[in-house]
Amino acid sequence: MRTKACSLWTALVTPFNQDNTIDFDSIKTLATAQADSGNGILLLGSTGEGLALNKDEQFAIVDYVCNLKLNTPLMVAVAGYNLPDQKQWIKRCNSLAIDAYLLGTPMYAKPGVVGQTQWFSQLLDTADFPCMLYNVPSRSGVEIPVKTVQALQDHPNCWAMKEASGDISKFLQYRQFCPKIELFSGEDAMMPYLAPAGVKGLVSVCANVWPQATLAYVNQCLHGSPEQNQELFPLWDNAVQALFSVANPIPAKVLLHHQQCISTPTLRAPLTHEELTDKSELLNYDQQISLWLTKNIPIAKRFA
């Protein structure tokens, strides 16, 4: 199973043309760069503006990336609050050459233990591929209860969790009470502190703009000493803050356009690149991360 060998998943942005249509040429550029770096690809997450796309557009993107036949695992996000629609989306994607699903908590409804257990159970039953649960209370309005994950961890399709609460104590609770699933960080900057606690890898926004450097960073966190890892935190924490200075993925798209990786920094409403009025800090950390990579590229190669 290719998912088991992947420690870094890039939550890929969805590039758009100036007229807001999907820029498939730029998708190819980005996806190929991720595969060449050895990173898994997550499509249609919040970083990919998945909810700003209709289902036909979503499917066209997944189908297109599958047909690129990249030598890297592909994960597809499942997000929304209508259970029949989410199950139908999974059934549609089951026919494609993907490797995994990311299952989010239903938005707005704020279900409890029973409701979330039933929600995820039905999605897991529908999927033909391993699934990563997604705990992101800042977006869903509610955490995935530990009791829900305990109840789901024996399901054959329940492979992992993306933990993006920003709370190390919550991570430790999942680690203690749900030992059968793999835990991935959804917070780039927290990797140095989650690695000693048993994190398996990272689902990353940073890797969009720094694919090789982020892999080196993850490898250093997973295989370096605690002292070495703590030295990583100031640079990467500041770089992450620059990437989240306004709503994600606005800074990532602005920087990718600056790097000439995508044709425009266009986003779909209600997001707009015009929110980022000063990109000097972002460009500064782009240079700093590039310099860091020149000193640390052997780390990425060592664990490739």
Q: Residue 168 is inside which H or E element, if any?
A: helix 168-177
Q: Catalytic annotation on 295?
A: no
Q: Catalytic annotation on 174?
A: no
Question: Distance between CA 49 and CA 22 in Å, rounded?
Answer: 11
Question: Distance between CA 105 and CA 167 in Å, rounded?
Answer: 17
223 CB-contact burial (10 Å; exposed 0-12 / middle 13-18 / buried 19+)? middle
- Identified catalytic residue from 64, 69, 108, 134: 134
Nearest to 139 by CA among 218, 79, 219: 79
Question: Distance between CA 280 and CA 118 in Å, rounded?
Answer: 47
Residue 76 CB coordination number (10 Å): 29
Read off the amino acid at residue 299.
Answer: I
The answer to whether the annotation marks 203 as part of a ligand binding site is: yes
Nearest to 50 by CA among 99, 86, 97: 86
- Identified catalytic residue from 64, 81, 101, 162: 162
Token pair 């595969």 in the structure block, residue: 35
Catalytic residues: 134, 162
Binding residues: 47, 203
**Which residues contribute to the annotated binding site for pyruvate?**
47, 203
